[in-house]
């Protein structure tokens, strides 16, 4: 398991302890046997975790481990979600995640 996968799981456990739904959603492109490509349904740059709280709030979290940084697509998507009034951010640790959701 990668350090980033561990972080995602820590956040998922934290959310589960609060009765929040936490979905790990990633963008994928798969090459089919006929040579064509199939892309999953979420747009490029979609945050790793989509969280639905017990109060109906939606939170979007991209997880990273230092020194990695979000891609341009991820940064644009987070800004787009924020502009629409959603809580969206990058978290490098469980503590950072908790601090962001408390804001």
pLDDT one-digit tens code per residue, 5-52? 999 999 999 999 999 999 998 888 889 999 999 887 888 899 999 999
Are 101 and 59 spatial neighbours (Cβ–Cβ below 8 Å)? yes
What CATH number is associated with residue 70? 3.40.1350.10
* Phi, psi (deg, nearest 5) at residue 82: -60, -40
Can you give the pTM of this predicted structure? 0.89
Are 8 and 63 spatial neighbours (Cβ–Cβ below 8 Å)? yes
Helix (H) or strand (E) holding 95: helix 94-102
Picking from 78, 45, 42, 75, the residue whose alpha carbon sits closest to that of residue 59 is 78
Helix (H) or strand (E) holding 60: strand 58-63
List the domain range (segments joined by +) for residue 70: 3-102
Structurally, the chain folds into a number of domains equal to: 1
């Amino acid at each position: 398991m990668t350090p980033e996968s561990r972080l995602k799981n820590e956040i998922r456990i934290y959310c589960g302890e609060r009765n929040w739904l936490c979905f790990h959603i990633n963008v994928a492109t798969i090459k089919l046997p006929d040579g064509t490509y199939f892309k999953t349904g979420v747009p490029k740059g979609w945050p790793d975790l989509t969280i639905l709280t017990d109060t109906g709030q939606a939170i979007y979290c991209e997880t990273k481990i230092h020194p990695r940084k979000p891609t341009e697509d991820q940064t644009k998507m987070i800004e787009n979600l924020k502009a629409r009034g959603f809580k969206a951010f990058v978290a490098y640790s469980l503590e950072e995640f908790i601090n962001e959701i408390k804001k």
